[in-house]
Amino acid sequence: MGLVPHALAPHIPRDENEKGTLMSSESGSLEALLDENRRFAPPPGFRDKANFGDPAVYERASKDREAYWADWAAQLDWFEPWHTVLEWSPPYAKWFLGGKLNVSHNCLDRHVQAGHADRKALIWEGEPGDTRTFTYGELLEEVCRFSNALKGLGVGKGDRVTIYLPMIPEAVVAMLACTRIGAIHSVVFGGFSPESLSDRNNDAQAKVLITADGGWRRGGVVPLKENADEALKASPTIEHCVVVRRGGELSEQVGATLQEGRDHWYHDLIADASTECAPEQMDAEDTMFILYTSGTTGKPKGVVHTTGGYLTQVYATTNAVFDLHDDDVYWCTADVGWITGHSYIVYGPLANRAQVMMYEGAPDTPDRGRFWQLCEKYGVTVFYTAPTAIRAFAKWGDDWPAKSDLSKLRLLGTVGEPINPEAWMWYHKVIGGERCPIVDTWWQTETGAIMITPLPGITETKPGTATRPFPGIEAKIMNDAGEERSAGYLAITSPWPSMLRTVWGDDQRFRDTYWSKWKDTYFPGDGAKLDDDGYFWILGRVDDVLNVAGHRIGTMEVESALVDHPSVAEAAVVGKKHEIKGESIAAFVTLKEGYDGTDELLAELREHVGKKIGAIAKPELIVFSADLPKTRSGKIMRRLLRDIAEGRAVGDTTTLADPAVVKRLQEQHEAEEG
Ligand code: WTA
């Protein structure tokens, strides 16, 4: 039985390929996707015990969305109740107006006060195999100590703190400590370059930087303090830098030096700090954190999230989507540097009193079975990862997971990019033993929390679709004119609690990027299709944002990094399909007079991009070209470049200023590939 009644599937006119804007080259495989008719109902045993097993929740939520969200919010502790659930003056939403709460109190004190001080909160393993565990009581003490240490450095409510840490428990402690004292954190992924770090420090005008001497990645050391030192040369607003000693062999190897007056060891700061620190009473709409994400310009934007609505929706979605129970051991493999780490390693799970697994390193260190060994060792029951990882695991072969006992797993999740049905089926069979529901969750840095997803005890899933909006969320598919269609752009048609409130310091950009396509409707930048069951099939970005191994990278960012090199006159960057990463970066580069496209220069350009942005942004393919295909009005024709990069027959070139350019480029590309 399909658990989504057909009455819920709206009858919507189809007009395929409206204006040809929507991924025309992919429509073939898309039709195949929509023909996907394998269906997986929740196993009865799972449904019976699920937090949500009754589809009536959808109706209840849509009848009175504000009451529904208020019910969730009321499960948290509030110092003062809200007087109004929602004030919506598009595009500005305020949730739980007048309410006062504290995030760290809700993630820690609330559980300790309810008698759960000895329950495990964080179960951590480092890449070399060292382990640390914090109970809720211990985590609260550590957070209080560090909160007091931050106060001692002059950090107060509203101040910005940059966190540039590896996946170690102190990352969680630092985030929670900021929320405890009302400071606004901006976590920067440890793989970003010094320049990316200083850009973010400066945009946020951060006062304090928290880093570590280093972290382990694939057996090598990520020299975070060295990068931080480099970044600090260009970060005038940073007054203090706190350095966590990662410990073990790493710290001996790195031997970080601290600059007198500016730098402080974390362990020195907390040594004498009090284990008590009263949580700041924050207004529901006070800014909780900023997280930078790539957009369609060269400059990443600081997505702003506030306190009450964000915590409510991450709490609700973690509870309902991951179906957490007391005996679950929950593991999300994301890095805290991304929104998934914020919402589904730290805030959502801890607000739900979950036992959270955290792992520092790579999935193939020391061997390709590491994740499955961790699942067995810690008895992981709920596992949340990304399609790019699943495709890599599938490629590495079934023998690796077969070596470990994965029988405790009961629920699997995926996020970050569309999952292809083959990868979904592999996940279902080989990891889930055909008994675990899979929740394919669609959401974004900007949405703060999961928006479109199955509920594992209710929804019949199909490989490749995120299924339906979470109860209380309203989504549609629309064309450019804002008319509802069964194929087009994904649209979120009413405000939700964890929505971004603005772009830090750039309100205009907030309105232009998300709210200018249609009236009072949020534009996420994804293409989508609706099937006859009313399920949403997310197809990927329709703007100049790439999704490389689940990481968002703006083509303009990479282009700016390339033209920053003295040899480059012009660069055009496009996405190229990639078996594991989903997409990889292809760059077409025109050199300045006097430079030759040698292999050395090619390597240098890749390094240059790595240095400017971070290793994740290094182009996989660079094609040197005397010119780029442009329209007569001078616009670079990216569609053609994509065709060339993927080795496809090139479509219509009649609008090109010089059609011969394409032929030259193709020859060039073939020579380089071959
Ligand atoms: C893509 C990650 C298909 C999408 C939480 C979105 C997905 C972007 C899915 C946001 C999914 C995320 N199916 N596509 N389940 N989840 N995406 O901000 O293109 O890093 O716009 O947030 O990832 O990426 P972000």
Query: What are the start-end ranges of the E strands in 154-300?
Result: 160-164, 184-187, 208-212, 215-217, 220-222, 240-244, 263-265, 282-283, 287-293
Ligand 1 center–CA 485 separation, angstroms: 21
> Greater confidence, 21 or 281?
281
| pLDDT confidence of residue 298 | 82
Between strands 184-187 and 287-293, the pairing is parallel
Mean pLDDT of the chain: 93
Closest ligand 1 atom to residue 466 Cα is 15
Which of the four pLDDT bands, split at 50, 70 and 90, describes residue 575? very high
Residue spans of the domains in the chain: they are 549-673
Q: Where are the alpha helices (DSSP H) in 74-221?
A: 103-104, 110-111, 136-152, 169-181, 194-204
Q: How far is the CA of 508 from the centre of ligand 1 (A)?
A: 24
Give the residue, out of 342, 343, 345, 443, with the most ligand 1 atoms within 8 A of its beta carbon, to mutate for a pocket test: 443
Residues near ligand 1 with C-beta < 6 Å?
293, 338-340, 415-418, 440-445, 466, 524-526, 538, 540-541, 547, 552
Q: Report which of residues 633 and 410 the model is more confident about.
A: 410
Look at ligand 1, atom 5, and give the residue with the nearest C-alpha: 444
By the 8 A CB rule, do 287 and 311 touch?
no
Q: Rounded mean pLDDT of 574-581? A: 93
pLDDT band of residue 502 (cuts 50, 70, 90) is: very high
Q: Are 29 and 554 in contact (CB under 8 A)?
A: no
Nearest residue (CA) to ligand 1, atom 1 = 417
Mutate to test the pocket of ligand 1, among 547, 548, 581, 583 (most ligand atoms within 8 A of CB): 547
Which ligand 1 atom is at minimum distance from the Cα of 524?
Answer: 21
pLDDT of residue 555: 93
For a mutational test of ligand 1's pocket, the pick from 446, 526, 542, 553, i.e. the residue with the most ligand atoms closer than 8 A to its C-beta, is 526
| Interval between CA 580 and ligand 1 midpoint (Å) | 16
Contact 583, 420 (CB under 8 A): no
Best residue among 292, 444, 544 to mutate for probing ligand 1's pocket (most ligand atoms within 8 Å of CB) is: 444
Q: Yes or no: say if 302 and 445 are a contact pair by the CB < 8 Å rule.
A: no
pLDDT value of residue 30:
59
Position 669 scores a pLDDT of: 79
Find the mean pLDDT for residues 625-631. Answer: 85
pLDDT at position 337 is 97
Atom of ligand 1 nearest to the CA of 440: 15
Nearest to 364, CA basis, from 407, 395, 340, 338 = 395
DSSP β-ladder status, 502-503 and 215-217? unpaired
CA of 323 to the centre of ligand 1 (A): 21
Q: What is the DSSP letter of 318?
A: H
Which pLDDT band holds residue 27 (cuts at 50, 70, 90)? very low
23 has pLDDT over 60: no
pLDDT digits (tens, 9 = 90+) for 372-426: 999 999 999 999 999 999 999 999 999 999 999 999 999 999 999 999 999 999 9
Examine the pLDDT at 33 and tell me if it is beyond 70. Answer: no
Q: What is the mean pLDDT of residues 628-654?
A: 82
Omega cis (within 30) before 42: no
Q: Is the pTM of this model over 0.85?
A: yes
pLDDT at 263 over 80: yes
Q: How remote is the CA of residue 328 from the centroid of ligand 1, in Å?
A: 26
Using the atom order of ligand 1, give the atom closest to the CA of residue 539.
3
Nearest CA to ligand 1 atom 10: 444
Ramachandran area for residue 248 (φ above 0: left; ψ -120 to 50: alpha; else beta): left
Instruction: Report the pLDDT averaged over residues 494-523.
Output: 98
**CATH number, domain 549-673, options 3.30.300.30, 3.40.1390.10, 3.10.20.810, 3.30.360.10:** 3.30.300.30
* Mean pLDDT confidence for 73-95: 98
**To the nearest whole percent, how much of the chain has pLDDT over 70?**
94
Protein residue with least CA distance to atom 25, ligand 1: 444
pLDDT band at 639 (very low <50, low <70, confident <90, very high): confident
What pLDDT is recorded for position 10?
Answer: 39
Closest CA to 538 of 502, 492, 578, 586: 492
Lowest mean pLDDT among 11-15, 251-255, 283-287, 622-626: 11-15
For range 649-657, the mean pLDDT:
71
Q: How far is the CA of 546 from the centre of ligand 1 (A)?
A: 11
Cβ-proximal residues to 102 (8 Å cutoff; 6+ apart), any chain: 79, 179, 180, 279, 280, 281, 282
Q: What is the pLDDT of residues 585-594, one digit of tens each?
A: 999 999 999 9
510-516 mean pLDDT: 97
Cα 574 to chain centroid, rounded: 21
Structure confidence at residue 22 (pLDDT) = 41
Using 50, 70 and 90 to split pLDDT, how confident is the model at 19? Answer: very low
Predicted confidence band at 31 (pLDDT cuts at 50, 70, 90)?
low
96's tokens:
């739980």
Closest CA to 235 of 269, 183, 197, 291: 197
Q: Cα Rg for the chain, rounded, in angstroms?
A: 25
pLDDT tens readout for residues 160-217: 999 999 999 999 999 999 999 999 999 999 999 999 999 999 999 999 999 999 999 9
Asked whether the predicted pLDDT for residue 156 surpasses 90, the reply is: yes
CA of 418 to the centre of ligand 1 (A): 8
Higher pLDDT pick, 130 / 630:
130
Residue spans of beta strands (DSSP E) within 234-286: 240-244, 263-265, 282-283
Distance, CA 415 to ligand 1 centroid (Å)?
Answer: 6
**Alpha carbon of residue 596 to chain centroid:** 39
Please give the average per-residue pLDDT across 465-471, as a whole number.
Answer: 98
Query: What's the rounded Cα separation, in Å, for the pair 68 and 203?
Result: 37
pLDDT at residue 7 greater than cutoff 60 = no
Question: Which residue would you say has higher pLDDT here, 450 or 13?
Answer: 450
Nearest CA to ligand 1 atom 12: 416
Measure 442 CA to ligand 1 centroid, in angstroms. Answer: 6
Which pLDDT belongs to residue 24? 37
Q: Name the pLDDT band for 663 (thresholds 50, 70, 90).
A: confident
Amino acid at 174: A
> SS3 for 497-554, per residue?
CCCCCEECCCHHHHHHHHHCCECCEECCCEEEEECCCCCEEEEEECCCEEEECCEEEE
- Most confident option among 73-77, 245-249, 667-671: 73-77
List of residues 6+ apart from 132 with CB closer than 8 A: 122, 124, 126, 169
Is cis: bond before 44, omega within 30 of 0?
A: no
Nearest ligand 1 atom, CA 293: 18
